[in-house]
Amino acid sequence: MSKILTQRVKCNQCDNEDDFPVHHSVNVSLDPDLKERVFKKDLFNFSCDTCGCNAIILHDFLYHDMKNKFIIQYLTKGQLTPEMTPGLALFAEQGYKIRVVGNLNDLIEKILIFDQGLKDTAIEVLKATIMAKEDEKDKPVTSVYFAAKSKNDNGEEGLYFVATREKDEPKYLTFLMKDIKTHLESAPEELAKWPDPKSMIVNFKTMFPEDSEKKGE
């Protein structure tokens, strides 16, 4: 089940202290209503009862999907501590896919990917393809995220992505499943075996370290 502990939080505006529910773990199989709150990011929203000031309080937490057998550890500092490893090892022994992220958008993307039964290693290659194609000297791509698996007006199934640039509107791009079927099937499930950190962190930096250094990531 989900693990929620109450913590006293001081308002930055009026110094009043209120109770704030800290979700250390979220089990969306047992508490499905929490999944929508993860997508909306409102698990981190604090509202002062005295002055009405709103603030975002980020904290580490574990996303647990028993049905699809994956675990995503969200870390505000992006690094695992020795205390966390034994707990994650128990899930690894049960055949869970385990990922570690340090960004809420990355967390949501991983959930969307695994919910669709896709491999994040394959998705990262497609994202890198988009970045290379769409990047412009005066308008560099700042981010690319997987958005959905859906069908177009012709009934063709595809994977949808959104690319963003500074001071520009988001651009939506699609790969038709018929064009990337071989790539999706041949991509590895993992970059390394547990407990190698590479088995838990799958992103542009870990998959394309040389390109990542060039982009300064």
Question: Tens digit of pLDDT for each residue in 152-206?
Answer: 999 999 999 999 988 788 999 999 999 999 999 999 999 999 888 889 999 999 9
Question: Tens digit of pLDDT for each residue in 34-85?
Answer: 999 999 999 999 999 999 999 999 999 999 999 999 999 999 986 777 778 8
Residue 94 burial (CB count, 10 A): 10
Question: Tens digit of pLDDT for each residue in 80-136?
Answer: 777 788 889 999 999 999 999 999 999 999 999 999 999 999 999 999 999 999 988
Rounded distance between C-alpha atoms, residue 111 and residue 145, angstroms: 12
Which residues, at least 6 apart from 68, have a Cβ–Cβ distance to it below 8 Å?
A: 114, 115, 117
Q: Is the Cα torsion angle 164, 42, 14, 52 positive or negative in sign?
A: positive
pTM for this model (two decimals): 0.92
User: Token pair of 191, please?
Assistant: 């970059």
Q: What is the DSSP letter of 72?
A: E
List the chain domain ranges: 3-103+111-115, 120-215
User: Token pair of 66, please?
Assistant: 């028993």
C-alpha count within 13 angstroms, C-beta hemisphere, residue 25:
13
